[in-house]
Amino acid sequence: MCRPLVRAVLLMMVPCALGRIAPASTSLLSRLALSSSPFVRSPSCSSLLLSPVSPCPLLPPALTMASSRPSSDLAAFREKLCEAKHVVAFTGAGISAESGVPTFRGDGGLWRTHDATSLATPEAFERDPSLVWEFYHYRRELVMTKRPNPAHHALVGLERWMGVRGRRCVVVTQNIDELHRTAGTEELIEVHGSLFRVRCLACGEDRDNYDSPICEALRGKGAPDPGAPEARIPEEDLPRCRRCRRLLRPAVLWFGEMMDERIMQSVLREIDSCDLCLVVGTSSLVYPAALFAPQAARRGAVVAEFNLEETPATESFQFHFHGPCGETLPPALTMT
C-alpha cells in the first residue's frame, strides 16, 4: 500500500539545501497527505522536496468513485467556468513547449549527453558549476528568443475577464521561463523560481538578472550539441554576486531541494478557496506540484485538464481536453 510511503514523504524533515528557508510544518504538509495517493513517490522520502515521481497503480478511494471518464464537453465546461468565482490554473512544461522551449523530458530530452535532471541538483553544481552554468546560460539565452503562445494569452484574457467582475484567476506555474509574466499574467505564483533570478551562495542575495550573457566567460557557450566541448570556466569567471563577489547560482528549485514554505502556503490558500481548477500542459509526475490539482478535486473543485496526453491524475478530474493547449485552451476560456 502507498499510504505509509506518502506519510513518510510528506512528514519527514531534512536539512534545507537552499538555506534561510524554514522547513514546512507537519500541519501544513498533512493537508496534502492524500490517503493512498498515487501522485507522490519520492525515493528520498523528504518533505516538500522537488522530485520526479512514479505513479502508483492504486487511486485514492475518494477520487475513483466517478461513474465515467472525464468529459470533453466544451459547453458543459464553459457553464462551470461562467459560474466560477475563483479559478486556479496549474501550468507545466507543455504550455512552454508550444512556444519552442525544450522540456528536456522523454525522447530527445538530453542537453548534450546529459539528462537534465542530473544537472538540476545542488550536487551537480557543487561538483561542476561551470557545466551547470553552461546549461542554464543556454536555457536563458534560448528563452529570451521565445514568445508567449495563445494558451498564455488565453489565461491572461480569463484573468482580466474575471477581474472586472470581482472574481479571481491565479496562475500557479512549474515553469521557470517567465512567459506567463511576458504575456501579462498578474496573479502568478512561480513555484520553481525563474531562469532570470540568481542567488548568492555566500550572502544569500536573491535578485533579478536579465543580462545577456550573464557573464562574459559564458558568451557563446552552452551549445546543446552532443559533440560540443565543455567550457571548463574557472569558478572566479562564473557569475558573481554584485554585493560580495562570491559565486552565484540560478535561483531555481533543484531536485532534492525544499520548496519555500511561503510559496507552498500561498498555493494551499489558492487550492483551499478555488471552485474551478485548470491543469494545463503538465505531466503530473513531479512532486510536490503533482499533488495540487488532485487536492483541489478531492475537496470538490471542478478540475479540467488540457494536455497532449492523459496523466496519472486524469481519471480524478471532471474534464479532459486532449490536444495542444494552444489550440484547446483559447476556445474554452474566451469569454464574451
Residues assigned a catalytic role: 192
3-state secondary structure the chain: CCHHHHHHHHHCCCCCCCCCCCCCCHHHHHCCCCCCCCCCCCCCCCCCECEECCCCCCCCHHHCCCCCCCECCHHHHHHHHHHCCEEEEEECHHHHHCCCCCCCCCCCCEECCEEHHHHCCHHHHHHCHHHHHHHHHHHHHHHCCCCCCHHHHHHHHHHHHHHCCCCEEEEEECCCCCHHHHHCCCCEEECCEEEEEEEECCCCCEEECCCCCCCHHHCCCCCCCCCCCCCCCCHHHCCECCCCCCEEEEEECCCCCECCHHHHHHHHHHHHHCCEEEEECCCCCEECHHHHHHHHHHCCCEEEEEECCCCCCHHHCCEEEECCHHHHHHHHHCCC
